[in-house]
Structure 1
């Protein structure tokens, strides 16, 4: 698989998550306050809730339902009740296009 256009940079608002789906894989895409674009799995590992409906603060995305915050860089939960990470996808910016390959996870180590 190769990276596909998920959306345009102009579709993103700073510190707000947008839900996209590529090849059946739901993702939350975020333009953080530093201008960096992140893509993480859109489903909270605690309650099967869409993370893109949550709240962005700094480099975290918080699930609106139960308050678990996930690192946009690593996908790791930063507090309970979630204890399993969400996947983090590699993002490429090409002009105004945000490209993501749902088969390629970002190296978070």
Structure 2
């Protein structure tokens, strides 16, 4: 079971528009936050193909596209939906308390 102490406040829901990409740094790791249909999702910011910056990519539906080579990842699961990347990116636990977004450990 994940402990409450494992979660860190990283942003506020009101600061993230629907379909927007927001990068946050936690323990020297960049993580992309996004809001889809009112839910907040968090994945690793670095594309596994060539370390491209997903924070500079764009969202299409529930996917984020790397700006370097076009790899796509599901924002909800971190899974690759289009190559050239072959490995999923890490997905993080997210908790929302009021307007505060808390980020937890890697899940799935």
TM-score of the pair, normalised by structure 2: 0.90
For residues 71-101 of structure 1, give each alpha carbon's deviation from its aligned partner in whole angstroms, at most 9, with x where no partner exists. Answer: 1122111111101110000100011001002
Aligned-pair CA distance for 1:38: 0.3
How do 1:3-22 residues align onto structure 2 when only pairs under 5 Å count? Answer: 3-22=7-26
**Structure 2, unaligned runs of 5 or more:** none
Aligned-pair CA distance for 1:30: 0.3
- Once superposed, what is the RMSD of the aligned Cα atoms? 1.1
| Separation in structure 2 between the aligned mates of residue 47 and residue 12 of structure 1, nearest angstrom | 27
For residues 21-46 of structure 1, give each alpha carbon's deviation from its aligned partner in whole angstroms, at most 9, with x where no partner exists. Answer: 111121000011x1111000000001
Larger strand proportion of the pair: 2
| Separation in structure 1 between the aligned mates of residue 7 and residue 76 of structure 2, nearest angstrom | 19
TM-score of the pair, normalised by structure 1: 0.90
Structure 1 segments (4+ residues) deviating >3 Å:
none
How do 1:22-101 residues align onto structure 2 when only pairs under 5 Å count? Answer: 22-32=26-36, 34-101=37-104
For residues 29-76 of structure 1, give each alpha carbon's deviation from its aligned partner in whole angstroms, at most 9, with x where no partner exists. Answer: 0011x1111000000001111101111121111111111110112211
Aligned-pair CA distance for 1:106: 2.5
| Separation in structure 1 between the aligned mates of residue 34 and residue 26 of structure 2, nearest angstrom | 16
Question: Secondary structure at 1:49's aligned position in 2?
Answer: coil
